[in-house]
Chains A and B, each alone.
Chain A
Amino acid sequence: MQWEIVIGLEVHVQLATQTKIFSGASTAFGAEPNTQACAIDLGLPGTLPVFNSEALRKAVQFGLAIEAEIGKRSVFDRKNYFYPDLPKGYQVTQMDFPIVGQGQLEITLEDGSSKVIGVTRAHLEEDAGKSLHEDFEGMSGIDLNRAGTPLLEIVSEPDIRNAKEAVAYLKKIHAIITYLGISDGNMAEGSMRCDVNISVRPKGQAEFGTRCEIKNVNSFKFVEKAIHCEVQRQIDIIEDGGKIVQETRLYDPDKDETRSMRSKEVANDYRYFPEPDLLPVEIDDAYVQAIREQLPELPDAKIERFISQYQLSKYDATQLAASRLLADYFEQVVSACGQAKLAANWVLVELLGQLNRSSTELSDNPISAEQLGQLIQRIQDGTISGRQAKQVFEAMYQGEGSPDAIIEAKGLKQVSDTGALEAMIDEIMSKNPAQVADYRGGKDKLFGFFVGQVMKASKGQANPAVVNDLLKAKLQG
């Protein structure tokens, strides 16, 4: 049987505000437990929430970036359930009237094709705290620093059909939120988390299959892997004549499997109702317009510009525009060397490859854009060959200095001086009279032999183009 996979994503983005969504406590990451959980965050009796203006502004920015309807009147609701990391016994969220309504975004796939994924809505809510499971005499410890951090939950339509699309969608969201600067997008620190809803159905069937929700997947790679193993699990069950049970599951990256979450076994009745301690949020056209006018260049526009301004392929442009940091870096390299295509190549292949191999974030990249630009210039002006450039790049990455300094130190300059090369060629020809005679007799293939001898004599530093020209002239006699 042919199966079709149906995926919908709920992405939780922590908004990069200074303070919590409803309190004046700091949101800085990594503080000592409970030092950033104030009386409001703890839900102490008599405390009340007041809404953070910056959380609203950031949510509206996102809405405008995906061309969504902006909720002119949005309403906070209480979602009621008991859990130790939820101090008030309810989470303040938005149910019927979210701040961001229907929108969409376009993803680009590896083959260069693109697809539009619908965004159902995005709403504001407060984050929960964390349970720490290490043993405190048989107890768990609760850290509520994260409780009350503003989240934007972005809910997609079930438009995604495979893991690659899911990852492309997530990367696009990541690009948008980092371009806007509304979140640091740091998945390792939980600034962007993803719940994946997955079902399968026989190809051609109209109605959806029963779905499972995989909670809190926190990297692009894990999203891809989690989808693969959950899809396989569901197909196996159905093909064995079983039925999918709608449930919440966790992805275990160590075992590469998903498992049912015991804590969510009891069907919840969240008893949503409008939060009486907060009032409806009303915004006017002028407010929205002011934000619209201050939006930065967004990924789609940047991709278009990279294609037209630098004659890049759509795929390269998309890759470069995937993060604002990367795109800015690329443009700095271009301005340093004036070679857009070479710059794109070096950034996407050499630099990203090297960062990837050493598991380094772009933000910790040891090579400045100016230096990379200089390196490209040295290739362009013939100082070094492409092969040598890779050697220089390695050294730059290890922090050995600027390209020129490394070229100098390693003696990597190409020999393009015709006098020195002619002397070298003359000597080689006089040492190999038989080969010269054979070549002149029609054995063209021997040309490579002479090139090899020159490169050997020059210890690889001869400029191949110059060597070619000189050899041809001399061998013809």
Chain B
Amino acid sequence: MKQLQPLWNIWKSRGGRLLVGLLLAELSVCAVFLLMGQTGSRLGLIAVGGVAAFGILRFAGASRIILRYLERLATHDATFRVLADIRLWFYRGLAKGAAAGLGFRRSGDLLSRLVADVQSLDSFYLRILVPLATALLSLCIVLGICLKGSVLLAFSIGIIFCLVAFALPTLMAKISYRWGPELQRTQAEMNNQALDLVGGMRELRIFGQEDAATERFLTAEDVFYTAQRRQGRAMAHVHALSLLLTRLGVVFALAGCTGFFFPKEQAVMGITILFVVMTALDNIVDLPRAGLLFGRIRHAAERVVEATIVPNGTPGEGTEPAPNGHEIEGKNITFGWLPGKTVLHNVNFRIREGERAALIGPSGAGKSSLAALLLKVVAPKKGSITLGGHDIASIQTEALRSKVAWLSQSSHLFDDTVRSNLLLGRDGISEDAIWAALEQAQIADFVRSLPDGLDSWIGENGSHISGGQGRRIALARVLLSDAPVLILDEPGSGLDMETERAFLATLNQLDRSRTILLITHRLTGVEQLDHLWTIQDGTLISHSL
């Protein structure tokens, strides 16, 4: 539980509001007890012919209604605030550590799952903390009232209450925590089979394997449901047990009234105790379910916190501002993603300001690793890289990245307008500059033809536009940044041959103060280059032009 400290800190920072919500919840519970206790005692009183006043009863009813309303408002408001805090914290944590590396891995699904985990943290306060806290207060009230009858009664009701409100939920939390990974694994297996089944529909049809694949998918479904059923059954048993225990509690209270097992109470007192006990037990009967939720939330919280931990080998932040020059030099760089496997071995290179270089090699040869090194996503095992004569390890990461713009193979297009996709939160960029970048990326005509121009929505990951168009918008985004160094990783992928050539030709006309490093698996012939390198077996080979 210790690793969940960062989450606790967020909760703590909203402590005041959370406490107010909790306090209102407690008061509202007091009002219920007053209401039910009064109902019992008033009924008892008039039944035995006494004279009863109903002021407190009316007051209790009215305050219950009002307090419950206020409680809902306060707890929800606090929850929303914490929720926003958690998301922001998660976003910042991810941005600081793991995010840069994600650009070099495909992990969209993993991230979606994490976002779902963040969302499931919502219910911790509303559905676990508040009910538990009110249960604790209820226990005190019930014990206090029962003690007016007899110690034995208070003792047995207290035990039943603790079993239902605390022991069973803990048990359920343990069970769901233990079974959680199994459930998640089987569900992931089912999802993978579904992806295979749908994504591979062409292959399955051509090779006549649709039935076999369907069967595999349905088997995975069955395994998942078996695991789910097992937890469902455990839940049903625990729920039945908690129902049984609460009934037993009522029987005890009743026995107390009738004098079967306990010293007989005074009739009116007895009926009051009974009403209070019944109310208390009714309120806690669903707490075991909250236990189930707790197990799930604990897993989610652990995954979320883990995702924000900065992985080992992430280069340090650095303190120096970005230098003025932007000549790039790599000296004796050795690097590998995994220990024992080097991708680059003793690599040396130099790109002067404004030079154009191309790096060619088959996939997996280490081309993108070089980009990762230049952007300080990873640090070289040996050797160093300098920008404008300064070691990039000592330059502030954010400042470095404003100097080196990168077009990755998987540049993300946001579910937003063309304009926001180009600007990514920057301001102070003129309309002319935007159109110039679009022109260079060969997409200006298309954007002009859209009904809303720059303010057209491009859909989730650019779903409203074609792959090639999306690619060119990502290109324009890189061209628009004022970074003097551009790293273009396979800029032609997704473009047809003609567009690719036209784009590469515009690169030639780009301001000669900008350095361009082209990473690609083949040249088209229109590139005007100062350097041509290939990577083979981890070493860089320079070719004459």
Chain B binds chain A:
no
B residues in contact (CB < 8 Å) with A: none
A residues in contact (CB < 8 Å) with B: none
